[in-house]
């Protein structure tokens, strides 16, 4: 009876379309997805032909030595180097032998568990460049615990033509290099959280990566001014949160923008939001707003559907009109205002 139930469950999985099962596998850690391939031939086929390849360096290292992550790296870094390169080469070779390609390579690393991260970054992107037609897109995620450490080989990452998504948390991105040498011109998602970054680096990324569709800057330091212009002509989503500088300036001018969220902890932040014909969702928190902003809402943002204003100040009266507005959320602080 138990064996029959297992067979029935396996049959139910096999009834799913292959692309659905592969999508499920793409959310699993690499070592777990590899173990699933041992269940049956059908599972092996789905795993081996999955167009999404996940590589987590912690998975590779943790399978090598069973000890706390805070101590195992100094012990076996050489062994992990060899194992990591073997895994990477075999994975890419498997797709090559099947005349298939990797639609997206998800590479994640955490530097505190890997003191030799520069080696792995260089090797991964060097191998990707050698097989230019094999890997179509790369999603790179890197996590540190503070803004005093730099991202290893940041410039090498920005030279990867296949880079599509860049997620960086907790490090310094102040780099000295020529921005004309940035080659990740197909980057479409940029997410920076708890980073130290200067204006030159940000504007260099904006000018060299015009295809960015989603931009998120959260808890960042070192920036006095941010200017998002129509150079990002495909930008649809923009989040600017917790700009950690007093008297900072934010200017946004993007006709393609559909969703914009801005929150700043300091009340001296100046936001200049230009008219946008495609904006559908606008969320502002702890910002200075004048009465004229509400009066001109329908003219400057004619397609606006969702408006959220919380803990903002500087206005005395709220007068809103708009044909497309579906939801309005206004949280009034200690100041007086009228409707």
**Range list of β-strands (E), the chain:** 52-56, 104-110, 138-143, 163-169, 189-193, 214-220, 225-228, 237-243, 249-252, 259-263, 270-273, 281-285, 306-312, 327-332
Tokens of 270: 């100046």
* Residue 188: band (very low, low, confident or very high) from pLDDT cuts 50, 70, 90: very high
Q: How far is 16 from 50, CA to CA, in rounded Å? A: 15
- Write down the domain spans for the chain: 1-48, 49-332
Q: How far is 15 from 20, CA to CA, in rounded Å? A: 10
Domain pair 1-48 / 49-332, same fold: no
Short-list 305, 312, 294, 314, CA closest to 260: 305
1-48 belongs to CATH 1.20.120: no
The predicted model gives 229-252 an average pLDDT of 87
The predicted model gives 155-170 an average pLDDT of 88
What is 49-332's CATH number? 3.80.10.10
Looking at residue 157, what is its pLDDT? Answer: 86
* Residue 153: band (very low, low, confident or very high) from pLDDT cuts 50, 70, 90: confident
Length of the chain: 339
- Report which of residues 69 and 188 the model is more confident about: 188
Residue listed under structure tokens 């139930």: 5
Q: How far is 243 from 202, CA to CA, in rounded Å? A: 13
* Residue 101: band (very low, low, confident or very high) from pLDDT cuts 50, 70, 90: confident
* Residue 336: band (very low, low, confident or very high) from pLDDT cuts 50, 70, 90: very low
Is a pLDDT exceeding 70 seen at residue 136?
yes
């Amino acid at each position: 009876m138990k064996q029959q139930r297992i067979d029935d469950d396996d049959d139910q999985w096999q009834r799913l379309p292959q692309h659905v099962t592969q999508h499920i596998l793409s959310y699993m850690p690499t070592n777990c997805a590899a173990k699933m391939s041992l269940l049956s031939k059908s599972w092996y086929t789905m795993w081996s032909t999955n167009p999404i390849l996940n590589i987590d360096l912690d998975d590779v290292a943790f399978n090598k030595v069973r000890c706390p992550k805070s101590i195992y790296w100094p012990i076996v870094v050489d062994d992990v180097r060899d194992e990591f390169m073997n895994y990477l080469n075999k994975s890419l070779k498997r797709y090559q032998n099947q005349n298939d390609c990797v639609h997206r390579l998800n590479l994640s690393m955490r530097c505190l568990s890997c003191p030799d991260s520069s080696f792995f970054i260089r090797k991964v992107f060097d191998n990707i460049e050698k097989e230019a037609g094999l890997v179509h897109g790369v999603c790179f995620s890197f996590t540190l615990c503070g803004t005093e450490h730099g991202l290893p080989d940041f410039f090498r990452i920005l030279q990867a033509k296949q880079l599509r998504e860049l997620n960086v948390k907790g490090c310094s991105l102040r780099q000295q290099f020529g921005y004309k040498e940035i080659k990740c011109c197909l980057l479409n998602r940029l997410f920076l959280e708890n980073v130290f970054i200067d204006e030159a680096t940000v504007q260099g990324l904006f000018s060299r990566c015009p295809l960015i569709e989603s931009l998120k800057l959260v808890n960042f330091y070192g920036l006095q001014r941010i200017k998002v212009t129509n150079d990002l002509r495909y930008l649809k989503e923009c989040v600017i949160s917790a700009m950690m500088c007093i008297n900072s300036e934010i200017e946004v001018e993007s006709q393609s923008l559909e969703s914009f969220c801005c929150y700043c902890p300091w009340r001296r932040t100046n936001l200049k939001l230009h008219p946008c014909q495609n904006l559908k969702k606008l969320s502002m928190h702890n910002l200075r707003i004048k009465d004229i902003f509400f009066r001109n809402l329908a003219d400057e943002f004619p397609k606006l559907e969702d408006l959220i204003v919380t803990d903002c100040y500087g206005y005395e009266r709220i007068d809103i009109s708009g044909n497309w507005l579906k939801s309005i959320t206004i949280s009034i602080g200690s100041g007086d205002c009228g409707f």
